[in-house]
Amino acid sequence: MTLRMSVSSRRRIAVVSTSRADYGHLQWLLHDLRAHPDIDLKLIAFGPHLSPQFGRTVDHIRHDGFVVDAAIESLVSSDTDVGMAKSLGLATLGLADALGRLRPQLLVVTADRYEMLAAASVALTLRIPIAHIEGGDRSEGAIDDAVRNALTKLSHLHFTTTETSTRRVVAMGEEAWRVHRVGALSLDQLTRGDLPPAEPIAAALGLNLDLPLFIVACHAETLRAETTVWFDAVLAALTRLRGQVLFCFPNADAGSHDIAARARSWVASRPDARLVVNLPPRDYWSLMQRATMLVGNSSSGVMEAASAGKPAINIGTRQDGREHGANVLDVPADADAIVAAVERARTPAFEVMLATLANPYGDGQAAGRIVEVLTSVPLDASLLIKRPPPA
């Protein structure tokens, strides 16, 4: 008979989540960590998760049955780069208290959101090893790219999405045994469990799935002095398209208030358009599978749409350099170019290509692979001591 380990002898692993941007990726990993008999999961939510303006998504986490061990108020209600910097400082203070109290044996951070720098910095000073998900990817048109690379160098275990990303992390001087290619966590949403039916979700939003539906996700280009000027072209193009439009709320970056306000104003002038602050991850995936295509500059279109067999129109520079499948059409922030890409994506030849498309980001089994490493890697001083290759 197998006996369950006592809490004190189980591995205490903490996971940090800032918003719907990473929670949708982490959901199945959290499920598997919580269910594992050898793991004592601690979950920390901070930043936009606690903001009513961004849907207070910490409540969604609890609704999904997860215990939030620390909920940290840290988001400054601002639309500027100074506000982002101050939010980073507040997150550092709150995470110092939370991680100092919880003292996990390992901290899991994901992707490239700037708030993750606070979590990694605090963990480093407290001598807590860090596992980073999605290192080695690229998004050169935003500060996210530098954040991701910084997290890679601060971290001690790396879970990469593609073979190319794996090579990049090793090329940065990380020891090969620390780097594990697992695929994109977000794709687990498609392969594990039944998604909710799309019809009632659409009906609640006032959408008709018998008509064309464009899901639009646009975020600030945070390396630009004017982070939202390109959004004019998006609105101009959407005005010329025939079909329903579902705007997803932007991430909490400098310029997000401006994008949200202009999207809300545009939606108000269109009876067939909606703006949603937050959709639960599985509702979003359900609608994605029934949508005509994704439009905007979100990593969702670049990384995930291929697994749903959908075209993605990737606008502007935010995702520059990111690996993607043939379903993604890169276009400048120009209304004519956007409309032309939409028309191309709706041709019979493009639809035939989508039917046999492989997603370079994996097979939707990432969570299990990550848990296997987290439950077997030695959690001792050797994990903290990184030895770069000889010069």
Q: Report d(CA 190, CA 351) in Å as an integer.
A: 20
pLDDT band at 354, cuts 50/70/90?
Answer: very high
Question: What pLDDT digit, counting tens, does each position of 326-341 carry?
Answer: 999 999 999 999 999 9
For 141-179, the pLDDT digits (tens) are: 999 999 999 999 999 999 999 999 999 999 999 999 999
Q: How far apart are CA 107 and CA 276, in angstroms?
A: 32
Task: Say which residue, 382 or 132, is predicted with more confidence.
Answer: 132
User: Which pLDDT does position 104 carry in this prediction?
Assistant: 98
CATH of 196-355, one of 3.40.50.2000, 3.40.50.720, 3.40.190.10, 3.40.50.2030: 3.40.50.2000
Question: What's the burial of 225, exposed, middle or buried (CB within 10 Å: 0-12/13-18/19+)?
Answer: exposed
For residue 157, the Cα-to-chain-centroid distance in whole angstroms is: 19
Q: In which band, very low, low, confident or very high, does the pLDDT at 8 lie, cut at 50, 70 and 90?
A: low
What is the end-to-end Cα distance of the chain in Å, rounded? 51
Q: What is the pTM of this model?
A: 0.94
pLDDT at 127 over 50: yes
- Contact by Cβ (8 Å): 129, 384: yes
Q: Could you tell me which CATH number the domain at 7-190+364-384 has? A: 3.40.50.2000
Q: Where are the domains of the chain?
A: 7-190+364-384, 196-355
pLDDT tens per residue, range 272-312 = 999 999 999 999 999 999 999 999 999 999 999 999 999 99
Q: Do the first three CATH levels of 7-190+364-384 and 196-355 match, i.e. the same topology?
A: yes
